[in-house]
Structure 1
Amino acid sequence: MTDLYPAPLPPPTPASTTAINILISLPELIQPIAEYFERPDICSCILVSRHWNQCFNPLLWNTVDTLSKPWRELFRRHDCKYDPPRDKIAAWIRETIARHGHHIQHLTATWNIVLEAVAANSACTNLTSLVVGSVMYHRKVTPLELETVTAALPHPPLTVLYATDQTATPLVQWLHLPWVSNRRIYRPGVVNEDLRRKITVERFWSLVQQNPGLVRLRFPYLGAMNDLSKDYILERLLALKELRDLDLELTLLDARTMLRLFPKLERLKIYNLDGLLMLCAQEQYSNLRHLGLRTYVLFTHVLKVLNHLPGLEELWIKGVAVEPLVLLRTTMASIPITLPPNGTSTRGNEVVICPPVIKSFTIDETLPRDDESIALLVRRFPRLVQIRAGVSRATKKALWEHCYYLEEMHGVKGGAEAWKRRRVEDERKRCK
């Protein structure tokens, strides 16, 4: 009976312990192992020994996302009007990021206090992803003082712009960015909300400048971004040689310019679509996989743009602009479509365009009047797998007739179960 039980493991020797420590310290082994760990597991590993602390601490601070736990709860308490330790939390955030900011590679900073702390850390140069988007400012009991804001800038100027209620004569230049600061008059000692947002933009560009390895970048959702010259913005973006994912939010840059300057872009979200309508037939951007249009668009314009994006797999639109259905039908009939594997083919001097292989299609806001227009558009997406839009009778019929591979249909009872059953039944028939 004793043979049925496994023999006990021998006690670890100093040599085996050293070998395990050497093995676990190899970055190429730690990374795949840590991918299976939850955040509490990594915290436990840090407490094992000083050696493990050095190995796993960079992984713990690899990602800072203020939209997820535990940061979300932390800021909820920080912003509570009746919570006395608010100043202590702010001090802890600044101290923590000052200590561990050089480990951060993926940063989602929706809170101004985090953006301030990271921008003030000159060692934070390893970012590959910087997502800002909507910026939230914590409540202040006292008004924001000019001197306080100046001290919080990433590179405080030697002197400060100061204006009175009667005059706007600047004593010095306020920020490093090319703001026209004397357009507005500020009350003595108090910075108004417009200038607060400009300071946020200052911190954002400071981070971009000190992280040339950025792969993903999302601009702040602030109108102050458009106060900068386009040349200034493009000059800073051209320094990002590895940029693949760009979300411009409401910044009014031209989409055609962005694709020409960054032909390796794989994901682009943009507000201004007009430039893409001027592309010539030979201009093809096959690297782009995801296109987001942060505005209401005409489907006739979308069809023209798609002809230049043969590799596009995901299309996201904020909403549908009203247009005559007759015009949409005419436009669809006039666009030449062939079925080569990808890219374009040439017949003499004629360029024949292959439609993009759209697999995911999303419209944020739809109305009942949009149904027939959406139904006409999805006919052009025979490889569609996922649709997130208002789906009613005409669209559902078009999806059934033209989108055989559909797997997800949001907002409809039963989803795409009928499509899945049809594929199973067809496969069963082929096997017979």
Structure 2
Amino acid sequence: MSKLAGGAPPLPEDLVFCEILTRLQAKPLLRCRAVCRSWRRRLTSDAKFLLAHHRRQPSLPLVTSGDRSTEERRIDALDHRTGERRPVEQTTGGTGGAEDNLQVLASCDGLLILLANGGLQICNPATRQRAPLTLLHGASCISALYPHGPSGSYRVLCCFKRAEDGHAVYHVHTVGSGELRRVGEPPAPWASGDMARAMPAIASFYPPVLADGRIYWEPVRLPGGNGKGNNMLVFDTMAESFQHLLSPVDGGASLELFEMSNGALGLYDNHGGTADLWVLQDHKSWTWSLNNRIKFPADVLSVMPVLDPEGDVLVLSLRGESSFECQHLQHISGGNGSLLARYEWNYSLNLWRHRFKESLVCHDFFSMGGNAGRVDEKPLFDGLSTVALVRDDNSEPH
């Protein structure tokens, strides 16, 4: 049991671990290892506790910022509840420019696939571990990182261009192995050469979303489809096969996919200053339901759905004539559309569709040899400091 100050009755240790320590961020949690030997052992090696801790962590959107004079580029996880930016990764530029030196290609369960200084790697910022993904260097696009339930492994869905005609050929790579296995070809037009060439740019701005064991791509307009942009590509991670799905609305670029807090697929349809929230209710019949409608302020530039039980959203707006003057990040309630908090900054900050959820869960592929390569445990947080956005006094505290 843990003793309390003032002679109060001690707390049961299970309560301390299950209800208190699981809510801490990774860094303060690891400091608690100094309490005693049993705590150190449990906090670093108990798989059930580490998984419970990961599940309690918030799923945060990633933001990038860069210094044009030094070409330094950094990635942070943005805590939309407080405005805090939690450092994730940093690079110091090169001949290709800051934009080419650090990119997030996929994220899942606290793991990130990064393109850093020309090389692909998988890393866990919370444990400061990384390993190269050498087998994927020839891929034209990294589509998604996902857990494979039956095997307990993590796999990467990636796209290669067929040499003879440039068509998209999809493969699955099991992280930490020498396996690079071809999977079924997606239906038209996703296998076409035009889509294969466009996919890297599409994935950069609108990465596929993993929800309920499936990977979903943004809707596109199919040839001969009467101009409607509601055709979605789906990859079933269990069967490892592709499927078709129709979105409930024809929204084109105005649609935003995201995973809801209960694991279901959500879709925001942004139109005329409002957004309709649709939820995929049933995978077998592909049934959607309209859950809510939110009205946004007039100066909104883009919408970023937030993983929240109420379906809250982040919206990006600006004051001034340029996005380099003064940007606002507004946290709006999905329940009634009210403003929960607003933060501002006077430099360029890009809000990504990828998310980060801290995890101290151990993975064998960070310590394997052979095809997994050498593990580089260089601290990802070195030289970084936490930066908090400035709360606008006109907003209500969250």
Structure of greater Rg: 1
Normalising to structure 1: TM-score of the pair? 0.30
Normalising to structure 2: TM-score of the pair? 0.32
Q: Whose strand proportion is higher, 1 or 2?
A: 2
State the structure with bigger RCO (CA 8 A, min sep 6), 1 or 2: 2
Q: Whose helix proportion is higher, 1 or 2?
A: 1
